Amino acid sequence: MADLYFTDDAERFAYKAWETLKLEPPVDVDRIAERLGVDLYREEFVEEIDGFYLRIPGAPPVVAINNSYIKPCGRQRFTSAHEIGHHLLCRRVKTKTRLFYLDSVRTRKTALERACDRFAALLLMPEPLVRQWFEDLSANPENRVAIMSERFGVSAWAMRVRLRELDLPYRRWDRRRRSQGLGAGG
């Protein structure tokens, strides 16, 4: 698997999904899973598990997402997209090979894991729309991240990471500065 170009593939697959499926935000990850023949399940797991991808020869691939009340919807959507990334990025692995990827807060960030995160970010928050909405919301910098994360159906944390990746400056809400009459902080 070392000779796979995960990052390039992640970008290509995300772009192809937008073009082929004519996606609109927030992206319907269930529709993508269905189109790929992936069975998507939502079950409550222990807190440490976000989700997993399982491929067994002769059976449909499975993505399972932890839908515990402690896992916000935006995080579940990102995890779903990440696990779909495992399905797409591991297609070059022999089909008779069993694959199992378990993602938790302690999962080591290998090249594959980083590529799956990249796929999820590109799928759920494509650069052209992020840049457009960032500009559209320039008059409301204090609420920009919250509004954009809601529009894209992702967590505020994922939205801030995406904005940093694109070198788009955002303001964080700072209660201390606000209470002192200084507005939002940078």
Model confidence pLDDT, tens digit, residues 171-183: 765 444 455 555 5
Cβ atoms of 137 and 177 closer than 8 Å: no
Cis preceding linkage at 26, omega within 30: yes
Cα(33)–Cα(56) distance, integer angstroms: 17
Strand 99-104: give its sheet, edge to edge. Answer: 39-43, 62-66, 49-55, 99-104
Cβ atoms of 51 and 103 closer than 8 Å: yes
Radius of gyration of the chain (CA): 18
Q: How many CB atoms lie within 10 A of CB 123?
A: 26
Cβ atoms of 38 and 87 closer than 8 Å: yes
Q: What is the pLDDT of residues 103-146, one digit of tens each?
A: 666 666 788 888 899 999 999 999 999 999 999 999 999 999 99
Higher pLDDT, 158 or 180: 158
Please, which pLDDT band fits residue 94 given cuts at 50, 70 and 90? Answer: low
**Residue bearing tokens 């606000």:** 178
Cα(151)–Cα(174) distance, integer angstroms: 22
Q: What is the pLDDT of residues 13-52, one digit of tens each?
A: 999 999 999 999 999 999 999 999 999 999 999 988 999 9
Cβ atoms of 74 and 153 closer than 8 Å: yes
